[in-house]
Amino acid sequence: MNANQRVLIIGFVFPEPHSSAAGGRMMQLISIFKKQGFKVTFASPAMDSDFMIDLESLGVAKKSIVLNCSSFDVFVKELNPTIVLFDRFMMEEQFGWRVFENCPDALRLLDTEDLHCLRLARQKAFKEKRLFSTDDLLIEDVAKREIASILRCDISLMISEFEIDLLQSVFKIDANLLYYLPLLLEPIEDSTIQNLPAFEERKNFVFIGNFLHEPNWNAVQYLKVTIWPLILKQIPEAILQIYGAYPSQKVLQLHKPAEGFHIMGRANIAQEIVKNARLVLAPLRFGAGIKGKLLEAMQCGTPSVTTIIGAESMCGDLPWNGFIIDDAQVFADKSVELYQDKNLWLKAQENGFEIIEKRYLKSLFEGDFVKHVLKFQTHLKQHRLDNFMGTLLQHHTLTSTKYMSRWIEEKNKKV
């Protein structure tokens, strides 16, 4: 066991595993550290929410921290963590230099979740009605911030092999700075599979996704305006249920029961909803990372129809648990076919179970991840010497971000 290991996680928000895949991902990381006997503290500048998990009941210390305030310096110096995990690059920007200054020997991990610059560059290209190019990344302001954060950290955890390749080919990031750690799942027991609702017991199409995430909102609009009418022409009695946390008024206004289009709001137990649906639709037109909603569909034995971006980096060379299609008419046609054809549906369901078994089981990654972290702690000095660009950026961050933050802190004292 590693009782002397103290992990500080600096979160963008306190984890909400039932609201987003990001919340579930964070709980997976906490679980790995706790299993190793590490002492875990989770700190965030975010407000508490009604849907955040009770960290203290899991043996995780919870701490509220303040942006641009030296109170964090006192806190982190006293805690003296051996490992600091930044939840997304924005937290590293805010607190990384303070960690470096007060705990220089702590191993700094960055959990990217997905590449924000990739998602935003794709979103911009989509809205400008043009094809995305990797050159878009080179002019994206967020890319400059995100890549700088990756370089300043000792290891960046990546959930997408596609994004690892992109970081190495476009930004020339050293492979030693990147570590592939996808969303991690427990094995699906045979008894669980046998107890899943059968094809005949399931009904309706479903979409599920947090509405604070722009790709999800865009996909719902695309469904409402384009794809769902094409499905209704072939199955007039069909029903599509849209679930998601934090629906805005503009989302709620899409609720049209007469058209079989139902805005259901937050899903209290998402897996119950997905496993009783016959098909998940996810026509994502921009985004990044791997999609928790599609992995959840596989866990529930529910086939899905998605786009190339939706399925990106998720199944490797294995067949998808449904169809991957970008064309709206073909998307609708294949959705109808999969909804109505039991044999095709059962084969798609089997494909989903195989993808989980071969690509996402926690047992495939957990041990190696812990060994990787411990190895880098042992050779941290040499690792940092080999990462000169990271050292250079850390130096300039300390002389720019540091004094900007100090200035803001002094300014706040006068308000």
Query: Which stretch of 262-271, 305-314, 376-385 has the lowest confidence by average pLDDT?
Result: 262-271
SS (H, E, C) 283-347: CCCCCCCCCHHHHHHHHCCCCEEECHHHHCCCCCCCCCCEEECCCHHHHHHHHHHHHHCHHHHHH
Q: Does residue 328 belong to any structural domain of this protein?
A: yes
Asked if 129 and 16 sit in the same domain, the reply is: yes
Q: Tell me: pLDDT of 155 over 70.
A: yes
Torsion over CA: 382, 384, 387, 392 (sign): negative
Average pLDDT over residues 115-132: 96
The least confident of 93-107, 208-222, 366-380, 399-413 is: 399-413
Q: Residue 219: CB partners within 8 Å, gap ≥ 6?
A: 207, 209, 282, 283, 284, 285
State residue 233's pLDDT score.
97
303 part of a folded domain: yes
Same domain, 170 and 299: no
% of the chain beyond a pLDDT of 70: 98
Question: Which are the contacts of 168, defined by CB distance < 8 A and separation ≥ 6?
Answer: 175, 178
Q: What mean pLDDT do residues 145-159 have?
A: 96
Does pLDDT of 46 surpass 90? yes
49 SS3 class: coil
Q: Is residue 371 part of a domain?
A: yes
Q: How many domains does the chain have?
A: 2
Mean pLDDT, range 311-315, rounded to an integer:
97
Structure confidence by residue, pLDDT tens digits, 334-343: 999 999 999 9
Distance CA 303, CA 353 (A): 10
pLDDT at 399: 67
pLDDT of residue 201: 97
The torsion region of residue 332 among left (phi > 0), alpha (psi -120 to 50) and beta comes to alpha
152 and 225 part of one domain: no
Give bridge partners of residue 108 from the DSSP assignment: 84
Shared-domain flag, residues 125 and 243: no
| 1 belongs to a structural domain | no
Q: How far apart are CA 233 and CA 288, in angstroms?
A: 32
The Cα diameter of the chain in Å comes to 70
* Inter-residue contact 70 to 409 (CB < 8 Å): yes
Report d(CA 31, CA 183) in Å as an integer.
Answer: 13
Nearest to 28 by CA among 362, 396, 387: 362
For residues 83-94, average pLDDT: 96
Taking a C-beta distance cutoff of 8 angstroms, is the pair 215, 285 a contact? yes
319: pLDDT strictly greater than 90:
yes
Predicted local distance difference test score (pLDDT) of residue 210: 86
Say if residues 394 and 152 touch (Cβ distance below 8 Å). Answer: yes
3-state secondary structure of 55: coil
C-alpha 187/C-alpha 174 separation (Å) is 33
Domain hosting 126: range is 6-184+362-414
Q: What is the mean pLDDT of residues 362-388?
A: 95
**Cβ(313)–Cβ(163) below 8 Å:** yes
> pTM for this structure?
0.92
Looking at the fold, whether 228 and 349 belong to one and the same domain comes out as yes
Please state the rounded mean pLDDT for residues 142-168: 96
- Cβ atoms 55, 62 nearer than 8 A: yes
The CATH number assigned to the domain holding 367 equals 3.40.50.2000
- What is the share, in percent, of the chain residues with pLDDT greater than 90? 84
Which positions ≥6 away from 296 have C-beta within 8 Å?
A: 208, 270, 271, 274
- Cβ 98 vs Cβ 76: under 8 Å: yes
- How many Å apart are CA 346 and CA 200, to the nearest integer? 11
Please give the pLDDT value at position 245. Answer: 85
- For the cut 80, the answer to whether the pLDDT of residue 22 exceeds it is yes
On whether both 118 and 199 belong to a single domain, the answer is no
Task: Give the per-residue pLDDT at 414.
Answer: 72
Q: Per residue in 165-214, pLDDT tens?
A: 999 999 999 999 999 999 999 999 999 999 999 999 999 999 998 888 89
Task: Report pLDDT digits (tens) over 379-403.
Answer: 999 999 999 999 898 877 766 677 6
Question: So what's the pLDDT on residue 44?
Answer: 97
| Consecutive H or E run containing 222 | helix 214-222
**149 and 223 belong to one structural domain:** no
Q: According to the model, what pLDDT value does residue 1 have?
A: 52
pLDDT of res. 66:
94
- Residue 328's pLDDT band, with cuts at 50, 70 and 90, is very high
Give 109's contacts (C-beta < 8 A, 6+ positions apart): 83, 84, 85, 86, 153, 154, 155, 156, 157, 373
Whether 146 and 225 map to the same domain: the answer is: no
Per-residue model confidence (pLDDT) at position 247: 85
Residue 248 reports pLDDT greater than 80 = yes
What mean pLDDT, rounded, does the chain reach?
Answer: 94
Burial of 95 (0-12, 13-18, 19+ CB in 10 A): buried
Q: Buried b vs exposed e over 343-352: b needs ≥16 C-beta within 10 Å?
A: ebbeebbebb
Are residues 138 and 205 located together in one domain of the fold?
A: no
* pLDDT at residue 145 tops 60: yes
Q: Are residues 347 and 371 in the same domain?
A: no
